[in-house]
Amino acid sequence: MGNDSSSGAPSAPSNFLRGIIDADTQAGKYAGRTDQEGQPLPTVITRFPPEPNGYLHIGHAKSICLNFGLARDYGGRCHLRFDDTNPTREEQEYVDTIIDSVGWLGFSWKDAADEHQYFASDYFDRLYEMAEWLVSAGHAYVDSQSADDMAANRGSFSEPGRNSPFRDRPASESLDLLRRMKAGEFKDGEHILRAKIDMASPNMNMRDPAIYRIRHAHHHRTGDRWCIYPMYDYAHPISDAIENITHSLCTLEFQDHRPFYDWILERLAEGGFFTKPLPQQYEFARLNLTYAITSKRKLLQLVEEKIVDGWDDPRMPTIVGIRRRGFTPESIQLFAERIGVAKADSWIDMSILEGALRDDLDAKAPRIVGVLNPLKLVIDNYPEGKSEECTAPVHPHHPERGNRSFPLSRELWIEAEDFMEVPSKGYFRLFPGNKVRLRYGYVVECTGCEKDEHGNVVAVHCSYFADSKSGTDGANNYKVKGNIHWVSVPHAVKAEVRMYDRLFGDPHPDAGGKDFRQALNPESKSVITAYLEAGAGTAQADDRFQFERHGYFVADRVDSMPGQPVFNRIVTLKDSWGK
Ligand code: ATP
Ligand code: MG
């Protein structure tokens, strides 16, 4: 798709951001720009700007799909930028996992010429140079008030702020102080650099916001070179402008920061640092997902208090967690497309995420049989020691994917739920005297069961009809209402299966300051031993299957061993929540 596309990708649903980009493209707003080497720049350049201070979660995935998706659909590009201006909270571990997660989601920040992976800390020299210019031009000053005085003079929503007594100190004095701040002559908090805007502005963010503060702290990339660090609100728009970003998309809480975003870039354009058109900020609603929490701080608490088994616990809404759970990147992209983007915050129901997952997996996942709650079924009239192959399609809607086969023998595992000694009304599966079809095999008639001394059923008995095998002419002579799955006892693969469900039982686990630990779903994880169709034994890590009648499962990417997969339940076949 070329840059001159006026309607965006035909398949992508429209949203207000596409409307804005379409209008900009039509007006030629960002047309004809070139980079420093004179190469033409795309008319849409977005960026995903995570702070490397935690693991990405499903909310970030929305932002990733949005930023990279728009760039892709408009023939532009999206930068991966680490917003690492805050020295103490950032670590390499987080940089690595973010790179990994964005790549896994299916997006790339590389193009033919460049990597387009950036760190805000790479701009520290230029950010500082611009700060000196702002001081010289009278747009910024060093404030030497105490933190308390500064807070007191800031005013409130109903009251204007008061000018700092240092606001009108000569630019040369501010410049000297700024240089000495940089040289390390002062302690943290002794001075601060502020933009000179309007202490009476109704927008608190315009009341001379801080742009540089003293912080004697080690930075994960610049080490001890700096002891002053730029504020986010200062570094962010400048990073966007340095990278020639066109549309800078952020969540709604930054709406009140936009006037400063525009103010700082306007001043710097006047100073000759940037040429117009400048990047523009647009806000969209953040993702709030029911039955989940998406605050980095609370996710950290789940990990630290060992409520979950780490950042990649398959119940976590982190990207590493949902990846391990068995979600596909395509299902997340589909989800992001379905929820779209809006200008007002709202809740998205977990069932929409799970629905996208089911739709994606249904089309892809090969089918196998798994018995999760095993009970033995003995076919008394089937010869001992004999076995025969039964065939089934790999995928019922894709005959081209061929067939699989697995053995049937005298002793089978069936689901305990598929037998009732005394059937309830409407029960069509195994009970004495009733016939059912063993899926892909024979019709059998139940003859009774064996019990232990406590009265628990330990085996079910039946006899089979030798002319009833599925796929043969005789099969049609038998009309049965029940159809149950099974695996052959001597051939089955015994495997650990982790039955995961939603981590929280409450749709809004942390709403209104609630303690989300009270909202945990006690049944979010149970570990069982299951018997699976022989083919499951060769599953590789990350292989996904539909276990017929049960749901979708994946070979766990961490704990599976060659020839000995461990499975995670990704999602059940149908949504049973709230029903
Ligand atoms: P937290 O507030 O939980 O610590 P954050 O939003 O500050 O997370 P960042 O690393 O700064 O984390 O986020 C990177 C990008 O992802 C930002 O542009 C941010 O707006 C976006 N983002 C974060 N959370 C969500 C969400 N729930 N829905 C949509 N976008 C989000
Ligand atoms: Mg943030």
- CA-to-CA distance for 478 and 495, rounded, in angstroms? 34
- CA-to-CA distance for 195 and 91, rounded, in angstroms? 29
pLDDT given for residue 3 in this prediction: 38
Q: In what order do the strands lie in the sheet with 77-82?
A: 45-48, 77-82, 117-119
Concatenating the DSSP letter of every residue in 405-471 gives EEEEESEEEEEGGGB-SSPPTT--SB-TT-EEEETTS-EEEEEEEEE-TTS-EEEEEEEE-TT--TT
Instruction: Tokens 């804005």: give the residue.
Output: 20
The pLDDT mean for the chain works out to: 95
| CA of 289, nearest ligand number | 1
Q: Which residues have C-beta atoms less than 6 Å from ligand 1?
A: 49-51, 59-60, 62-63, 250-251, 286-287, 294-296
Q: What residues does 192 pair with on adjacent strands? A: 143, 213
Distance 459 CA to ligand 2 centre (A): 58
Torsions phi, psi for 522 (to 5 deg):
-65, -20
Distance 419 CA to ligand 2 centre (A): 54
Encoding tokens for residue 72? Answer: 């892709």
Among the listed ranges 9-18, 80-89, 160-169, 239-248, which one has the minimum average pLDDT value?
A: 9-18
| CA of 56, nearest ligand number | 1
CA nearest ligand 1 atom 26, residue? 59
Test site for ligand 1: of 63, 247, 298, most ligand atoms within 8 A of the Cβ: 63
- CA-to-CA distance for 262 and 237, rounded, in angstroms? 8
Test site for ligand 1: of 46, 58, 60, 332, most ligand atoms within 8 A of the Cβ: 60
Note the maximum CA span of the chain.
103
pLDDT given for residue 36 in this prediction: 86
With 0-12 CB in 10 A as exposed, 13-18 as middle and 19+ as buried, what is 285? middle
Question: Would you mind telling me the total number of residues written for the chain in this entry?
Answer: 579
pLDDT given for residue 578 in this prediction: 63
Handedness of CA 553, 557, 562, 564 (dihedral sign): negative
pLDDT given for residue 112 in this prediction: 82
Ligand 1 closest atom vs CA 299: 3
Measured in whole angstroms, how far is the alpha carbon of residue 3 from the centre of its chain?
29
- CA-to-CA distance for 265 and 274, rounded, in angstroms? 8
| CA of 295, nearest ligand number | 1
CA nearest ligand 1 atom 25, residue? 59
Test site for ligand 1: of 82, 91, 99, 251, most ligand atoms within 8 A of the Cβ: 251
Select from 90, 82, 72 the least CA-distant residue to 117: 82
pLDDT(7) > 60 = no
Concatenating the DSSP letter of every residue in 333-376 gives HHHHHHH---SS-EEE-HHHHHHHHHHHHHHHPPEE-EESSEEE
Residue 202 contacts residue 223 (beta carbons within 8 Å): no
The mean pLDDT value for 178-194 works out to 98
- CA-to-CA distance for 118 and 84, rounded, in angstroms? 10
Select from 316, 286, 279, 355 the least CA-distant residue to 575: 355
pLDDT tens, position by position, 392-445: 999 999 999 999 999 999 999 999 999 999 999 999 999 999 999 999 999 999
List active site positions.
Answer: 51, 286, 296
CA nearest ligand 1 atom 4, residue? 296
End-to-end Cα distance, the chain: 44
| Helix residue spans in 74-136 (DSSP H) | 92-104, 124-136
| CA of 54, nearest ligand number | 1
Strands 280-284 and 247-251: parallel
CA nearest ligand 1 atom 23, residue? 60
State pTM to two decimals. Answer: 0.94
Ligand 1 closest atom vs CA 249: 18
Distance 258 CA to ligand 2 centre (A): 15
Q: How many CB atoms lie within 10 A of CB 393?
A: 15
Q: How far is CA 363 from CA 244, 324, 548, in A?
A: 40, 20, 14
pLDDT tens, position by position, 220-279: 999 999 999 999 999 999 999 999 999 999 999 999 999 999 999 999 999 999 999 999
Distance 86 CA to ligand 1 centre (A): 15
Q: Which residues contact 124 (CB under 8 A, 6 or more apart)?
A: 222, 225, 226, 230
CA nearest ligand 1 atom 27, residue? 59
CA nearest ligand 1 atom 14, residue? 50
Distance 83 CA to ligand 1 centre (A): 11
Q: How far is CA 339 from CA 110, 170, 281, 333, 573, in A?
A: 27, 53, 21, 10, 21
With 0-12 CB in 10 A as exposed, 13-18 as middle and 19+ as buried, what is 9? middle
| CA of 283, nearest ligand number | 1
pLDDT given for residue 287 in this prediction: 96
Ligand 1 closest atom vs CA 63: 30
Torsions phi, psi for 230 (to 5 deg):
-75, 150
pLDDT given for residue 6 in this prediction: 40
pLDDT tens, position by position, 495-549: 999 999 999 999 999 998 899 999 999 999 999 999 999 889 999 999 999 999 9
With 0-12 CB in 10 A as exposed, 13-18 as middle and 19+ as buried, what is 100? middle
Distance 44 CA to ligand 1 centre (A): 21
pLDDT(5) > 60 = no
Concatenating the DSSP letter of every residue in 200-243 gives T-SSGGGSS-EEEEE----BTTTBTS-SEEE-HHHHHHHHHHHT
pLDDT(2) > 50 = no
Select from 287, 283, 281 the least CA-distant residue to 319: 287
pLDDT(481) > 50 = yes
3-state SS assignment for residue 390: strand
Amino acid letter for position 89:
R
CA nearest ligand 1 atom 2, residue? 295
- CA-to-CA distance for 210 and 142, rounded, in angstroms? 9
Distance 341 CA to ligand 1 centre (A): 15
CA nearest ligand 1 atom 13, residue? 50
Ligand 1 closest atom vs CA 51: 10
**Does residue 277 have a cis peptide bond before it, meaning omega lies within 30 degrees of 0?**
yes
Answer left, alpha or beta for residue 306, where phi above 0 means left and psi between -120 and 50 means alpha: left
